[in-house]
A = this chain, B = another copy of it.
């Protein structure tokens, strides 16, 4: 990782740091207190069980914010998925809580709750459809986009296996709902049908 440039925007000024694909941003036990805004690229936050099972808690795309924790130390891993620029923002040392940070925390909680709903009660097709629609919405409702993450990342995010993810992609493709322009570029051909599939 390397410092690219100091950039204004948040008071005071914070610099943007670049991480290579796969680079660790923080790990469980690391000191928390700083949070991050994604300038470009994508981040994956995850946790491991003792036997290696992995759950991806969240993906964070350009413009999104992550890294706030309840405790002094982090409980999860955060890694850059592709080459990623992050603006690090320190929490005010005086213990003050900005309304912005609270809003971000509450939005994060809402996202987490919707994630629980999805993996607790939806089928594989519903989860993948929901995931794709969410990715499109978060990038401004575009109809095609690159997936920065691997099939394994998607599987671990949705509580599925890589094979099931692959099979559901194939199913949605053969139903004409999506098109795979390349292995990582998805086009949502029938967005409204996909939306209705999320139940």
Spell out A's residues near B (CB within 8 Å): 47, 49-51, 53-55, 57, 68-71, 75-76, 95-99, 101-103, 105-110, 112-113, 115-117, 119-122, 156, 158-159, 199
Contacts and interface: CB of A to CB of B under 8 A. Distances in A.
A117 B55 CA distance: 6
14 contacts: A49-B117, A49-B199, A53-B122, A53-B199, A55-B117, A57-B116, A71-B110, A75-B113, A105-B106, A112-B113, A116-B116, A119-B120, A119-B159, A120-B156
Contacts of A98: 97
Contacts of A76: 113
Nearest to A126: B49
Nearest to A91: B102
Given A69-B106, A112-B112, A96 B95 contact: no
A112 B55 CA distance: 13
A95 B107 CA distance: 16
Given A55-B120, A120-B159, A106 B49 contact: no
